């Protein structure tokens, strides 16, 4: 039998300078749905500042209690991250469970995490979130010391203190394990830089089609690859991908780049998560080029672009060159595939627009290539093999003095081996 969904009332505070409030409330509703919660009611309040003790004012609390009872709800979800005292006071006033936007996102991440690294990152974020909120757990305040009267007063620790110490120990253990994984990832990045392989990161709002775009590129240029190992997971849901997937794309002219999929962005992405996922998100800040995937069929796509740009700025990656992939064009009236300056209208699902996107990529990251004609002596046959593997050979002729190659190669390769061949 299908498990009965929880019913929720979502509430939000609209500050006078917050123009995106309606959008953020709609996004909160989508997040709740992704967490298998039915939103049965909504309440908002316009104020100049958030109520420091209860998040919303006294009158709104009474209105919320009536709505909660009328809709037979079981949980209240707030549109902002609440302080421990705000959660405690709201739960006391409403006599129900209260959660905030942060814990909602953490729950979704916890459910979606597949790899060990993603699971560790989510757990660290959850524990950091819980630590200052332990005081709200009324069951934890009992003394551990036995007996009664004055003689045992102060003996032992409170369960709250024990919980805090356990959480801090757990965080330390998790971070130690994460550091090993981070070290491995950094070693891989150093090797890529050493090999001079360009790295392109696919970024964008959650569920924009980043993983679908990656799969379309793999299918286009690596069609004989083992799909089970090469294709990345895709599904029409928020935060389907939490793992960083890196795939090597080899173009017909032997130019190669690494395509990296990243976790999707959402507005007000909790700082606990950004901190915990730092090793994953470092891929973004060290990329040579970013492809921002945009769901052009979504009416809020401009807001999604803004959310992505804000997150990239927070990550220190706003200086990296970027091109835009307006995905899901097949669900709109936009003509596709079509290129306009730094953006391409395409459909990853139909694998339409991949060549146009690839041309934009070429124009940005393969500027360090040069065309030349060289004569390689026969005793340097290893160079012929090297250029056949790492360069685009346009013609090969065998002459008395050696092998004549007309090719396009990396400038660095040309200078590295120029003493071993003759420039024609």
Q: What is the pLDDT of residues 96-107, one digit of tens each?
A: 989 999 888 888
Tokens encoding 248: 């090597």
Of residues 402 and 424, the one with the higher pLDDT is 402
Tell whether the model's pLDDT for residue 90 goes beyond 50. yes
pLDDT, position 321? 93
The confidence band for 192, taking pLDDT boundaries of 50, 70 and 90, is low
CA distance 407 to 341: 29
pLDDT of residue 155: 42
Percentage of the chain beyond pLDDT 70 is: 85
Question: What is the band of 375 on the pLDDT scale with cuts at 50, 70, 90?
Answer: very high
Spatial distance between the Cα atoms of 264 and 298, rounded to a whole number of angstroms: 15
Question: What is the C-alpha separation between 128 and 131, in angstroms, rounded?
Answer: 5
Q: For residue 322, what pLDDT is reported? A: 95
The SS3 assignment for 329 reads helix
Residue 195: its pLDDT value, please? Answer: 64
Q: What DSSP string describes 276-300? A: HTHHHHHHHHT-SEEEEEEETTSTT
Mean pLDDT computed over every residue of the chain: 83
Please name the helix (run of DSSP H) or strand (run of DSSP E) that holds residue 158, with its range, or none. Answer: none
User: pLDDT at position 143, please?
Assistant: 35
Among 150-154, 156-160, 241-245, 330-334, where is mean pLDDT lowest? 150-154
- Span of 135-139, 253-257, 384-388, 396-400 with lowest mean pLDDT: 135-139
Phi first, then psi: give them for residue 348, nearest 5 degrees. -65, -35
Mean pLDDT of 403-424: 90
User: What average pLDDT does this structure show over 230-236?
Assistant: 52
Query: Which of 12-21, 74-83, 192-201, 299-308 has the lowest average pLDDT?
Result: 192-201
Q: Which residues fall within 8 angstroms of residue 195, CB to CB, at 6 or more apart?
A: none
- The residues facing 247 across adjacent strands are 259
**What confidence category does residue 231 fall into, taking pLDDT thresholds of 50, 70 and 90?**
low
């Amino acid at each position: 039998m299908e498990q009965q969904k929880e019913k929720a009332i979502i509430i939000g505070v609209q500050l006078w300078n917050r123009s995106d409030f309606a959008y953020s409330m709609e996004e909160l509703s989508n997040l709740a749905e992704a967490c298998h919660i039915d939103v049965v009611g909504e309440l908002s309040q316009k104020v100049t500042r958030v109520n420091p003790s209860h998040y919303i004012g006294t009158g709104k609390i009474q209105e919320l209690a009536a709505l909660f009872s009328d809709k037979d709800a079981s949980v209240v979800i707030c549109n902002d991250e609440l302080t421990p005292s705000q959660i405690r006071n709201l739960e006391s006033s409403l006599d129900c469970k209260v959660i905030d936007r942060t814990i909602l996102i953490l729950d979704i991440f916890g459910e979606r995490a597949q790899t060990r690294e993603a699971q560790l990152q989510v757990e660290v974020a959850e524990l950091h979130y819980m630590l200052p909120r332990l005081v709200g757990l009324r069951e934890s305040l009992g003394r551990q010391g036995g007996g009664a009267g004055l003689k045992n007063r102060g003996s032992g620790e409170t369960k709250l203190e024990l919980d805090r110490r356990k959480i801090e120990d757990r965080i330390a253990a998790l971070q130690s394990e994460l550091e090993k994984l981070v070290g491995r990832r950094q070693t891989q990045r150093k090797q890529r830089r050493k090999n001079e392989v360009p790295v392109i990161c696919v970024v964008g709002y959650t569920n924009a089609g980043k993983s679908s775009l990656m799969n379309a590129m793999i299918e286009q240029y690596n069609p004989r690859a083992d799909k089970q190992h090469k294709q990345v997971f895709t599904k029409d849901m928020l935060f389907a991908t939490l793992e960083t997937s890196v795939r090597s794309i080899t173009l017909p002219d032997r130019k190669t780049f690494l395509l990296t999929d990243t976790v999707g962005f959402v507005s007000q992405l909790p700082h606990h998560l950004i901190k915990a996922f730092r090793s994953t998100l470092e891929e973004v800040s060290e990329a040579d080029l970013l492809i921002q995937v945009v769901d052009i069929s979504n009416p809020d796509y401009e807001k999604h672009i803004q959310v992505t740009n804000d997150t990239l700025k927070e990550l220190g990656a706003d200086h990296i060159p970027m091109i835009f992939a307006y995905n899901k064009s097949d669900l709109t009236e936009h003509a596709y595939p079509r290129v306009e300056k730094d953006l391409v209208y395409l459909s990853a699902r139909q694998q339409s627009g991949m060549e146009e996107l690839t041309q934009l990529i070429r124009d940005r990251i393969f500027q360090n290539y040069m065309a030349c004609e060289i004569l390689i002596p026969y005793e340097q046959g290893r160079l012929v093999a090297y250029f056949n593997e790492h360069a685009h050979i346009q013609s090969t002729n065998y002459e008395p003095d050696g092998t004549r190659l007309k090719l396009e190669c990396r400038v660095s390769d040309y200078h590295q081996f120029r003493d071993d061949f003759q420039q024609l």
